[in-house]
Amino acid sequence: MTDRLGYHRYWVAEHHGGPMLAGPSPEALIGPIAAATERIRVGSALKVAETFSMLAGLFPGRIDLGLGRAPGTDPITAFALQRDRRQLPPDDFPQQLAELLGYLDDNLPPDHPFARLASSLPGRPGGPQPWLLGSSRDSALWAAELGLPYAFADFINPRGAEIAALYRERFAEHEHAGRRPTTAVAVWVICADSDDEAQRLASSARMTFTLVRRGQLIAVPPPEKALRFLKADDRVDSGSRSERRAVLGAPATVKEQLQDVVSSYGADEAIVVSITYDHEARLRSYELLAEAWR
């Protein structure tokens, strides 16, 4: 549907060990999604270079590889996913990122023990387009240094406009030949036929995130249950709406608010994150947003 409506990308996330979000194995979804569409770019969070090189060979020019530092789960599930559980893994994301890009670009140093493996990746001569995902200054600095497109998670940290500006500033300082800084801002968006209906649909995610902050993982509830919870629970903090930005409303409302966010970030693209209980409501949100944006 998003392909037909004119969206540019469709990304699936990687989350483990929780009932709220589906998709512990995005690489298993990307192939079928790309096969069922004709134009839209398809992508995901970190998996090994071989998998995404193979996908890029099957669907040239349409595969994105989103690289994020966060494991996409809670600490206990992350520990369960480890091969070696004798101790916590080191925080070596920058080193892993550099090695992965070395594989994809086939530019590992000649004396690197894995250098010969890079040239044999499937899907050559093409490959996936790496993006760095983040919500902090560190990710902005890494993206700028490595010359990568940068996707900022405004739905996690709504105070990222200065971080996006820092990314562009440092990118220019590194003088990446033939490349320019590219920014996408990911925003929580629900578009409905009326402002009130969008607020009603958003109650499902509000309840979910309220309980996540208390360490309770639940499946996304229906709006009726969520509204009762939000009304009855006096522990729901009044600042929850302001701490997590949500662009909610009828098409005209959403278009104006989303344009403001994109402008504040100086972003090239907006990525909409739409969490609803009902799948049809999410599809309707995509449809209304596409009509408004055109």
Q: Assign residue 21 the CATH number of its domain.
A: 3.20.20.30
Per-residue confidence band for 241, with pLDDT thresholds at 50, 70 and 90: very low
Closest C-alpha to 56, from 111, 1, 125: 125
**What distance in Å separates the CA atoms of residue 292 and residue 283, rounded to the nearest whole number?**
14
pLDDT, residue 169, reads 96
Per-residue confidence band for 239, with pLDDT thresholds at 50, 70 and 90: very low
Query: In this structure, is residue 65 part of a structural domain?
Result: yes
Domains: count for the chain: 1
From the number of C-beta atoms within 10 Å of its C-beta (0-12, 13-18, 19+), residue 208 rates as buried
What type of residue is 145?
Answer: E
Q: Containing domain of residue 54, as a range?
A: 1-134
**Alpha helices per DSSP H over 175-218:** 195-212
**pLDDT greater than 60 at residue 42:** yes
Query: In this structure, is residue 127 part of a structural domain?
Result: yes
Query: In this structure, is residue 213 part of a structural domain?
Result: no
Specify the higher pLDDT residue, 67 or 267.
267
Query: In this structure, is residue 190 part of a structural domain?
Result: no
Per-residue confidence band for 12, with pLDDT thresholds at 50, 70 and 90: confident
pLDDT digits (tens, 9 = 90+) for 83-142: 555 566 666 788 888 888 888 888 888 888 888 888 878 888 888 999 999 999 999 999
Element (H, E) at 229: helix 223-232
Query: In this structure, is residue 106 part of a structural domain?
Result: yes
Query: In this structure, is residue 43 part of a structural domain?
Result: yes
Distance (Å) of CA 282 to CA 126, 186, 227, 237, 289? 33, 16, 18, 26, 11
pLDDT digits (tens, 9 = 90+) for 22-32: 666 777 888 99
Give me the mean pLDDT over the 280-292 stretch: 96
pLDDT, residue 294, reads 80
Query: In this structure, is residue 269 part of a structural domain?
Result: no
Query: In this structure, is residue 84 part of a structural domain?
Result: yes
% of the chain residues with pLDDT over 70? 84
Specify the higher pLDDT residue, 104 or 161.
161
Per-residue confidence band for 207, with pLDDT thresholds at 50, 70 and 90: very high
Mean pLDDT of the chain: 86
Closest C-alpha to 173, from 165, 185, 162, 183: 165
Element (H, E) at 92: none
